[in-house]
Structure 1
């Protein structure tokens, strides 16, 4: 029975909530493949890369959905989630190579980080910190777009599949509120878009749920 690994941060961790994109995939593939959740809130590519050998089987598919935390603004302390774009790209390359080495048939699929609603993130900062927040943003759409482009570049370089969630969401009218729940995480509408894009990508590698035989 094939295993599909969903690898990422909170976008993946939350995906098994009702209506989440991971939950939808688990339902579609319920008699065909195991959908394994490997999502850890707050993680970036640096931390995921270090942990990679500890939690991957030999899957048919690895979906890597990382970049939103890497794109966070760096903190003055030097700590935090920020990972520079050159390191982000190198981490993605490493993960692609590692996953492909697990078996000859393992497929890798990258997902670009979604856009950011700057105003929603600014409002969230104000609600948490009040006047102390000033005009501070933890993330911006401009930065998210740069990391999405970096993800697309790595996918092309490594010759792996990619789902361009970032630009797909931006094609939706009022995407800032329709597709994002808090200015960052994808909403049920965002999950619908992601599932549709994932199934299109999986069809290209004969892993669409209609193409995978039942196990019993």
Structure 2
């Protein structure tokens, strides 16, 4: 009986207005760690913003560069994990349930070829890899999928050297396999790819430094070890990404209620979602829209509104 039910569900998926939208995060450890509660991860920030309207899927792979990520995507496991499992309702007219994809690489690719040949990906190859990842997203999530490319963050030299000593002790080399010059080059490479392909770029390499100008490199507070994001850094990236979405993709933004800053809650009946969600109110009627004396009628009215926006 269960097999019959499952087959029926697969052959008759709910129509678009009744499916929860999706946001997918692709990247390396900075993305994988974006779900860290301990670090107030930027992925959790976005999941908080999109609660009840979008499910956020983290597909960050710690230690991966773009070469290895593409290799993963070429395997049966990787293709299913990153694409097929998230588009089981298919793509129609270039649109799927995936509303937004973030592509956040460079922290490993930028490694110095001499000091860390294992992770190093030359700049031209890095850019071609980013383009291939974008193309795969368009092929699998639909050509109309919204994409944001994110640059690697700046590298704080003193913190990286301290991290070396803390981790390796006497075996610390005292040489920086990742540095500001390389971070700048790879950030510019991400910007160039975004511009060429016509997608927005979140340049956290620059915005982090601009947010804390002056002497002392105060922007280092955004990094936990000179490379990865601290809790402050994760919140910074989450807020900057939300701000960028507001500017370039208003149809998938969330407008907070007047009390959001007071309550910190993005998921109540006073919030509104963009038109791309099928309903500005999200999934199911909010509790204060339900008449307890005629609950069935309230749910039917909600359904009717969704049908009208489809």
**TM-score (ref. length: structure 1):** 0.92
Greater alpha carbon shift after TM alignment, 104-113 vs 45-54: 45-54
Q: Aligned pairs, how many?
A: 215
SS, match of residue 156 in structure 1? helix
Structure 2 gaps, min length 5 = 1-19, 74-78, 88-97, 256-272, 275-279, 285-310
- Alignment partner of 1:81 out of 112, 115, 119: 119
Bigger relative contact order, structure 1 or 2 (CA pairs below 8 A, ≥6 apart): 1
Contact 2:115 2:177 in 1 (8 A): no
Match of 1:6 in 2: 25
Say whether residues 1:110 and 2:145 are aligned partners: no
1:179 to 209, 222, 231: 222
Q: CA deviation at 1:32?
A: 0.3
Task: Point out the more displaced range, 33-42 or 188-197.
Answer: 188-197
Superposition map of 1:55-134 within 5 A: 55-56=82-83, 57-58=86-87, 59-74=98-113, 78=117, 80-102=118-140, 103-134=142-173
Contact 2:116 2:177 in 1 (8 A): no
Secondary structure at the aligned position of 1:110 is classed as strand
Which region of structure 1 is more displaced relative to structure 2, 151-160 or 91-100? 91-100
**Structure 1 gap segments, 5+ residues each:** none
Give, in whole Å, the separation in 2 of the partners of 1:104 and 1:145: 30
Cα RMSD, aligned residues only: 1.8
Classify the secondary structure of the residue corresponding to 2:120: coil
**Normalising by the residue count of structure 2, what TM-score does the alignment of the two structures yield?**
0.65
How far has the Cα of 1:122 moved from its partner?
1.4
Runs of 4+ aligned residues of structure 1 deviating over 4 Å after TM superposition are: 75-78
CA contact (8 A) 1:100 1:108 kept: no
Q: 1:170 aligns with which of 198, 206, 209?
A: 209
Instruction: Find the counterpart in structure 1 of residue 195 from structure 2.
Output: 156
